[in-house]
Structure 1
Amino acid sequence: MTECEEASSRPATHGLKLERNATSPGNVTRSLILIAAALLVLASRDALAAPCQFESQGEGRVTAIIDGRSVRLDDGREVRLSGIEPTATTKQALASLLVGRDVTLRSADDTPDRYGRQGGLVFIGESDTPVQAKLLAQGEAIVSAEIADKDCAAALMSSEAEARRQKKGNWADLSAIKNAESPDDILAGIGRFVVVEGKVLSVRQAGAMTYLNFGRNWTRGFAVTISRRALPAFENAGVAIKSLENRRIRVRGWVEGNTGPRIDVLRAGQVELLSANEPTGVRP
């Protein structure tokens, strides 16, 4: 047999060995690990993605501060900052942050309000943190609880909570959070957006309205009212209204009422459950 014939008659073991190596258990395991790692990286990126990144509704340069939550852009548009209620210092803080700055407006809806203002979250330049969060972190604004997106709402609330803990800005004032046991103090703020803390003594149903009573005297004590149409929002949030009885809560909203102060709750985000260990924000 010639050398060529001998070579051609040998089994093609070399090529088979390479194929086996490519599909060997060790290589398959390494491939699966790499795939899993890639998926983990992608999942981590999604998990760490900045909240409040809604669809862009346009850009512009801020030329003027209209009031504590409204600005004017160089194209004439008026923008209302969603998600916050202003304090006495918000307008000045906005002027320091925004006048002459290029901003991007982001929101889930570009429908203007009844005053023709376009609402949304405002971002400076390439920042992924909304101006609202910066104001809240400085104690220069209060969360309004109007943002429906859970992650974004939680981020804004977290910024406010940190400012409260550090007693920054508005929260340096001991009366910034009202005591539910002082109804006259709350009633003095009628027509204003306030934050109240206290223990719910009873939950009562009257027609289409549910009352969270904080005082024994229902006509003069502070109470929270929740209409029937607002109840599904609490159910979706996993909160049974009756379970709020004998619980400490923090509630925010506009003060109404004549003999006794009331806050009408329209959104579940206006009510926060307070743990037994959470420091109270009310004044002594």
Structure 2
Amino acid sequence: MTRVVDGETIILDDGKAVRLIGALAPRARDANAAAGGWPPELDTIKALSDLVLAKKIKLAFAGRRTDRYGRTLAHVFLADRGQQDWVQGTLLANGYARAYGLPDSFACARELLAHEAEAQRKRLGLWSNGVYRTFPADHASELMKLRGKYVRVTGKVVSVGRTKSATYLNFSNDWQSDFTVRIGKKVLAANVTFDHSLDSLTGKTVVLRGWIERRNGPMIDIADPSQIDVPEAPDAPANVSERNSISPNPIQPVRLPADPI
């Protein structure tokens, strides 16, 4: 490992750029701050540097291998001292990143969300910063200001609408201007049980995650079922992986996922 570019990109000895899929690092643009001056971003870069610089690593792949910039998409594991600490899990469990995925690249989503939930519960790292709070679905004007940003939104589903191309979760009766969630037919076809469960969401409070787009009002386009969480649902995120009880580093390392990639 030769260099850390930012909180989610590393450069290997052979010059290959690797993007840590599944762990979204804070960026100055999250808070409309000046580049290079956003403390959560700097904290994550330091944490990642402490974890991987001058260390041997292993890469694991599932789904897409590259992003649109040609970077390798991988889960990264430290291979030093006979251990295989999971870098993404470690960043999430310590509040240095948020769980996310890209289309065709949501491997270990449940594990990633479980580690994020642990940090959120303890208000670690970025979870003590109001910029990363969960936004109410009924504040459409506030959500519209977040266009292009990755956020968490919570609200009660007023209705579920279906068309030939997609299913929509509506959070008010004015679906043309208020917050909406869209799930395209490709996602529905690949997740039949999830598709069948959507009609039962009417009247339930859910938590969504994704990038805010503008489709009439603010909207999140769902690429994977893991982007929708029903807090009272019995199918909760997986338990976090086993963690070291003692570490000389203040960053608590996380071991391999329970379900290997």
Higher relative contact order (CA 8 A, sep 6+): 2
1:140 and 2:79 aligned: no
* Number of the residue aligned with 1:282: none
Deviation at 1:211, TM superposition (A): 1.2
| Pairs within 5 Å for 1:184-203 | 184-203=141-160
Deviations 1:45-80 (A, max 9, x none): xxxxxxxxxxxxxxxx2x212223211011111111
Gaps of 5+ in 1: 1-60, 278-284
Q: 2:214 maps to which residue? A: 257
How much does 1:167 deviate? Answer: 1.1
Greater shift in the superposed pair: 190-199 or 105-114: 105-114
From 128, 138, 141, the equivalent of 1:181 is 138
Greater shift in the superposed pair: 237-246 or 98-107: 237-246
Map 1:134-173 to 2 at 5 A: 134-146=90-102, 147-149=105-107, 152-173=108-129
Distance (Å, rounded) in 2 between the aligned partners of 1:142 and 1:132: 10
List per-residue Cα deviations over 1:181-213 (Å, max 9, x = no partner).
Answer: 212222111111111111111111234122101
Report the Cα distance in structure 2 between the residues aligned to 1:276 and 1:198, rounded to whole angstroms: 15
Does the CA contact (< 8 Å) of 1:85 and 1:193 recur in 2? no
Aligned-residue Cα RMSD (Å) equals 2.3
Q: Please tell me whether residue 106 in structure 1 is matched to residue 60 in structure 2.
A: yes
- Distance in 2 (alpha carbons) for counterparts of 1:127 and 1:119: 22
* Equivalent residues of 1:137, 1:159 under 8 A apart: yes
Q: CA deviation at 1:276?
A: 8.4
**In 2, Cα distance between equivalents of 1:110 and 1:230:** 16
- Write out aligned runs for 1:19-38 (5 A): none
Is 1:230 matched up with 2:187? yes
* CA displacement 1:190-249 (0-9 Å, x = unmatched): 111111111111111234122101123212211101111111344244752211111111
Greater Rg by CA: 1
Counterpart CA distance in 2 for 1:132 and 1:187 is 30
Name the counterpart of 2:24. Answer: 85
1:69 correspondence with 2:8: yes
Q: Matched residue pairs, number?
A: 214
Q: Distance in 1 between matches of 2:151 and 2:182?
A: 15
Aligned-residue identity in percent: 34
Evaluate the alpha carbon distance shift between residue 92 and residue 182 of structure 1 in structure 2; reply closer, same or farther with a 3 A threshold: farther
Contact 1:122-1:132 within 8 A present in 2 as well: yes
Q: Secondary structure at the match of 2:172?
A: coil
Provide the rounded CA distance (Å) in 2 between the counterparts of 1:206 and 1:109.
Answer: 28
Pick closer, same or farther for the CA change 1:185–1:129 going to 2, 3 Å: farther
The structure with the largest helix share of the pair is 1
Within 2, Cα distance between the matches of 1:213 and 1:78?
40
Deviations along 1:76-107, whole A, 9 cap, x unmatched? 11111111222132334322322222211112
Q: Which residues in structure 2 correspond to 1:119-138 (within 5 Å)?
A: 119-125=73-79, 126-138=82-94
| 2:156 and 2:205 in contact (8 A); partners too | yes
CA contact (8 A) 2:22 2:106 kept: no
Which amino acid is 2:89 matched to?
A
Structure 2: which 5+ runs fail to align? 28-40, 235-261
Secondary structure in structure 1 of the residue aligned to 2:217: coil
Pair 1:74–1:110, CA change in 2 (3 A): farther
Within 2, Cα distance between the matches of 1:163 and 1:142? 10
CA contact (8 A) 2:179 2:217 kept: yes
Please identify, of 233-242 and 95-104, the stretch whose mean Cα deviation from structure 2 is larger.
233-242
The one-letter amino acid paired with 2:186 is: R
Question: Which 10-residue stretch deviates more, 192-201 or 109-118?
Answer: 109-118
Q: Report if the CA contact (8 A) 2:188-2:194 is conserved.
A: no
Q: Cα offset for 1:250?
A: 1.1
Give the Å deviation of 1:130.
1.3
